[in-house]
Amino acid sequence: MTMISIEPTLQRKKKHSIGAKRILDVSLTALGLLAIWPVLLMISVAVASTSRGPVFFVQTRVGRDGRTFRMLKFRSMYQDAEKRRAEVTSMSDRDGLCLKVKCDPRITHVGRFIRRWSLDELPQLFNVLRGDMSLVGPRPALVDEVAAYPNYAHGRHEVLPGITGLWQVSGRADIGFEEMIALDLDYVRRSSVGTDVRILFRTFLAVIGGKGAY
């Protein structure tokens, strides 16, 4: 007798949701890059002409299922920023593991502007096309930060990390570590295309408002 394996309904729905989310990501990202390439060019020139160092900052982050990848950003800090990290650790304005310093002396003048408007994150659109990231999801954390996570926090790695997410639309750097993890786990539980569309709309409002952007 031939046995036919029937996939559980919940698993089929999950795969369908992931496929639809990927279509949304690729479609919106491709259209976005076509629309904003002059902005990317202008930011590249501004970064390169006002401080020494590469235009892009490439950093290893933790993605879905704990896999690491190389995340892109426009460089917003001076070239020696990583070496000076220990200098500003005690200045963090945020509770928990993630370092956030409102008056970080390592940030360039151009960097402060592009951070305020979240323009430094735009190169991550290429990470989305590569499949390392999604438009919406938990922000990808540093390897050393994830190593210090409590066990429950690793639930945020069940989905692709995102350029934006519930954390960004809820206050960004003003949100403490525990609340950030709670928001990420809530997103993982109810991840869907509809949820992503709502968060993308709220992201636009959050960027205009500028709360927690530094």
pLDDT confidence of residue 66: 96
* pLDDT over 50 (residue 4): no
For the chain, give every domain's residue range.
Answer: 13-209
pLDDT digits (tens, 9 = 90+) for 100-135: 677 788 999 999 999 999 999 999 999 999 999 999
pLDDT digits (tens, 9 = 90+) for 177-196: 899 999 999 999 988 999 99
Alpha carbons 119 and 13: distance in angstroms, whole number = 35
Residue 151 structure tokens: 């066990």
pTM reported for the whole predicted model: 0.84
| Average pLDDT, integer, range 52-69 | 96
Report the relative pairing of strands 134-136 and 141-142 from DSSP bridges.
unpaired
Alpha carbons 65 and 141: distance in angstroms, whole number = 13
Burial class (CB in 10 A: 0-12, 13-18, 19+), 129: middle
pLDDT confidence of residue 171: 75
pLDDT digits (tens, 9 = 90+) for 71-111: 999 999 998 877 777 777 666 655 556 666 777 889 999 99
